[in-house]
Amino acid sequence: MTTAVRALGVIPARGGSKRLPRKNIRDLNGAPLIAYTIAAAAGSSMLTDWLVSTDDDEIMAAAHRYGAPVPFKRPAALGGDNVRNSDVMVHAIDFMELKTGAPYDIVVLLQPTCPIRDPAHIDAAVNSLWASDHPTVASVKGPFKKRDPNLKRIHEGVLQDYCGQVQAGDWPAFYIYNASIYAVRRDWFMRERRFVSERQVPLVMDEYHSIDVDNEVDFIIAETLVRHLGIPTPKLKG
């Protein structure tokens, strides 16, 4: 990088998760789930500032224990089931720009439900977006390419091809959002209030690093992968 870029990382962690209650602070191999994302953000060299945004006192305390900046408790209006991450990000941007007195160039959403994320992935997202002409970066897992059609639908009780038939071998590889990293140009985000654009820079991550914990099965897989990969358990900071 030849020009300094101001990047803000935000870890959104509400307390009211439904499918896996209290998942953000559930113990994953000796540390709360959120601690792994905190460790990744702390290890990034491209984030000018980063923080945890939460409406929950217990999550706030856990984040503090693992060294995360938690400069505010999220307003109650941003704590319900229908609150979008875009609303949380706008609140964090407004707060931090008022605090620091300077605007950011890039904002990065780091979901705490993706514990197997390397600081290098965050740095790559910021660097690749800053070097591009596109407004967003999204992390994906892949490539996936099968000789036979892989995506199916069930129509009137019959399993059918989802995308229709093409000649064998003609299917292009496809990729799937893994929810780990969304990096967005700040001005575009504040105008559009979205994390994805029509044209995006891809950040390809392998399947090991693409687990997204949404339910009990995901949590079991994540813990297995953490142990298999030998990922260090985050340490308490205070």
| pLDDT band (50, 70, 90) for residue 148 | low
Residue 1 predicted with pLDDT over 60: no
Residue 147 predicted with pLDDT over 80: no
CA 12/CA 72 separation, integer angstroms: 12
pLDDT tens for each residue of 196-219: 999 999 999 999 999 999 999 999
Both tokens assigned to 115: 């514990």
The CA-atom distances, in angstroms, between 155 and each of 149, 161, 182 are 16, 10, 34
The alpha-helical segments, DSSP class H, found in 32-170 are 33-43, 57-65, 85-100, 119-130
pTM: 0.93
Per-residue pLDDT, 2: 45
CA 148/CA 165 separation, integer angstroms: 10
The alpha-helical segments, DSSP class H, found in 68-200 are 85-100, 119-130, 186-192
Closest CA to 57 of 23, 15, 119: 15
Burial of 177 (0-12, 13-18, 19+ CB in 10 A): middle
Domain borders along the chain are 7-143+176-229
Question: Could you identify the residue written with the tokens 């300077």?
Answer: 102
Both tokens assigned to 107: 């904002």
pLDDT tens for each residue of 169-184: 667 788 999 999 999 9
Q: Which of 15-19, 43-47, 75-79, 160-164 has the highest mean pLDDT?
A: 43-47
Residue 139 predicted with pLDDT over 60: yes
Closest CA to 209 of 223, 198, 225: 225
**Which architecture, in CATH terms, is 7-143+176-229?**
Alpha-Beta Complex (3.90)
The CB density around residue 4, as the number of other CB atoms within 10 Å, is 9
Residue 38 predicted with pLDDT over 90: yes
Are residues 42 and 67 in contact, defined by beta-carbon separation less than 8 angstroms?
Answer: yes
Find the helix or strand (DSSP H, E) in which 227 lies: helix 216-229
